């Protein structure tokens, strides 16, 4: 789960990371009021969306008066911000963050991520702040500082000092850097984050170290331990299909293809998508309905897949290990009788009681396309999709 910049800064500040003064606004008038409330002579208005690259897309504006703050906010509210991370559809701007401008002497990139290869928290830092880490890696790889944290002892002060020295932090500010690094690490571990990124972490003109931006991502599976974090979720920034799936206990990722997938098991779902690609098609989604395939759960999956208007065929691929194919078949039949399905449906069952399951599908009277192997199912799905595509083209032509 991602959160907004202002939310990440609130969290990090509680762990001892210094941040500029700022306030949230939900209207242009409120943004101008926030600027007057903060005081000073210069402010930055930032669109709050779950995406990087906001500055290049017009989502960050520096203003020299409260009237400019109001105009900048007016320009942002209600529009779609399109960056390299949002895709062409963009993200809607429904709130802005007004922040007091601070003098910047230098910028640093700082990130905490879970490194799966070492099974440790890894700290990634660079004196080339303000750039995306991918750009830094490509253009100045020698500037990147990496350090892993031993989980038995946590982040030690000597590691923090070593990172500070490698980044060229002045001796008088090293202790500030130590507090910043340890604060980020405690936020990461105590709140079950999967990423903490500050880009840029700045050194101000008066020798303070502050987080000018902040991003945090959290492990969805651990949110039950942190209800205060779960409350920060902003569904307006998420794919509506993925939000609906999460609310129904389904694992769903929307893609750009036309063949919808309903599969039990994440590994089998990945294999199903790969096989569809191999057969010449494009999957419309990743959907893992989990170990149970009850009629209610299958019906939810069908409704979710059909909510994508690009779907022109559906492939149901179930391997019954914990389940039984006859139970799954009964669930598919009942779900198809409950849900209006206007596209071809290919069903492939394997595993326990597969013969009984195939018999139930055959005797259902429903226009199902049955397959016995994954490759056959993928090929039939692609054929059904191509046939549907041809019919739609003919209808438009006529």
- The dihedral over CA atoms of 162, 164, 166, 167, expressed in degrees to the nearest 10, equals 170
Query: What whole-number distance in Å separates Cα of residue 282 and Cα of residue 266?
Result: 18
10 assigned to active site: no
Flag whether 99 is marked binding: yes
Flag whether 213 is marked binding: yes
Alpha-carbon 71 to chain mean position: 31
Flag whether 107 is marked binding: yes
Strand partners, 203: 106, 209
Give the contacts of 268 (CB within 8 A, at least 6 positions apart): 317, 319
Flag whether 357 is marked binding: no
Instruction: Report the Cα–Cα distance between both ends of the chain, in Å, rounded.
Output: 47
231 assigned to active site: no
Flag whether 102 is marked binding: yes
Q: Which two tokens stand for residue 66?
A: 């409260």
Q: Exactly one of 6, 109, 252, 330 is catalytic; which is it?
A: 109
Query: What whole-number distance in Å separates Cα of residue 301 and Cα of residue 370?
Result: 19
Flag whether 310 is marked binding: no
Q: Going by DSSP bridges, is the β-strand pair 259-263/368-371 parallel, antiparallel, or unpaired?
A: unpaired
The helix/strand/coil state of 120 is: strand
- The dihedral over CA atoms of 375, 377, 378, 380, expressed in degrees to the nearest 10, equals 120
Flag whether 199 is marked binding: yes
What are the residue ranges of helices labelled H in the chain? 5-14, 28-38, 66-76, 133-139, 157-166, 174-190, 227-230, 240-247, 266-278, 295-306, 325-338, 354-363, 374-397
Q: Exactly one of 197, 242, 330, 388 is catalytic; which is it?
A: 197
Which residues are annotated as part of the binding site for substrate?
A: 264
Which residues are annotated as part of the binding site for ATP?
A: 46, 53-55, 99, 102, 107
User: Which active-site residues does the annotation give?
Assistant: 109, 197
Which residues are annotated as part of the binding site?
A: 46, 53-55, 99, 102, 107, 199, 213, 264
Which residues are annotated as part of the binding site for Mg(2+)?
A: 199, 213
């Amino acid at each position: 789960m991602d959160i907004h910049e202002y939310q990440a800064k609130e969290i990090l500040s509680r762990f001892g990371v210094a941040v500029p003064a700022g306030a949230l606004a939900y209207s242009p008038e409120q943004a101008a009021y926030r600027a007057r409330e903060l005081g000073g002579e210069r402010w930055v208005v930032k669109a709050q969306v779950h995406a990087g690259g906001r500055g290049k897309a017009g989502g960050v504006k520096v203003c020299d008066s409260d009237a400019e703050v109001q105009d900048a906010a007016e320009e942002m509210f209600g529009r779609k911000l399109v960056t390299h991370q949002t895709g062409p559809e963009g993200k809607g701007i429904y709130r802005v963050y007004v922040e007091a401008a601070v003098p910047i002497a230098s910028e640093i990139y700082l990130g905490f991520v879970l490194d799966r290869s070492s099974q440790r928290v890894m700290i990634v830092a660079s004196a080339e702040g303000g750039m995306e880490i991918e750009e830094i890696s490509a253009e100045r790889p020698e500037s990147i500082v990496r350090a892993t944290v031993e989980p038995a002892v946590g982040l030690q002060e000597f590691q923090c000092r070593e990172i500070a020295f490698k980044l060229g932090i002045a001796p008088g500010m090293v202790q500030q850097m130590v507090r910043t690094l340890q604060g980020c690490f405690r936020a990461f571990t105590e709140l079950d984050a999967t990423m903490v990124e500050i880009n840029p972490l700045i050194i101000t003109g008066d020798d303070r170290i502050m987080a000018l931006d902040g991003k945090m991502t959290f492990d969805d599976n651990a949110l039950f331990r942190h209800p205060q974090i779960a409350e920060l979720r902003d569904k307006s920034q998420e794919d509506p299909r993925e939000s609906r799936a999460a609310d129904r206990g389904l694992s769903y990722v929307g893609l750009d293809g036309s063949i919808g997938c309903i599969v039990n098991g994440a590994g089998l779902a990945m294999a199903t998508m790969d096989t569809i690609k191999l057969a010449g098609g494009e999957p419309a989604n990743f959907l893992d309905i989990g170990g149970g395939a009850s009629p209610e759960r299958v019906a939810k999956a069908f409704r979710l897949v059909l909510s994508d208007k690009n779907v022109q065929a559906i492939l149901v691929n179930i391997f019954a290990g914990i389940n039984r194919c006859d139970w799954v078949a009964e669930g598919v039949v009942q779900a198809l009788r409950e849900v209006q399905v206007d596209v071809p449906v290919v069903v492939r069952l394997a595993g326990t009681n597969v013969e009984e399951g195939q018999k139930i599908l055959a005797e259902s009277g429903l226009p199902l396309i049955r397959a016995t192997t994954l490759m056959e199912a993928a090929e039939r799905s692609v054929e059904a999709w191509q046939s549907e595509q041809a019919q739609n083209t003919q209808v438009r032509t006529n």
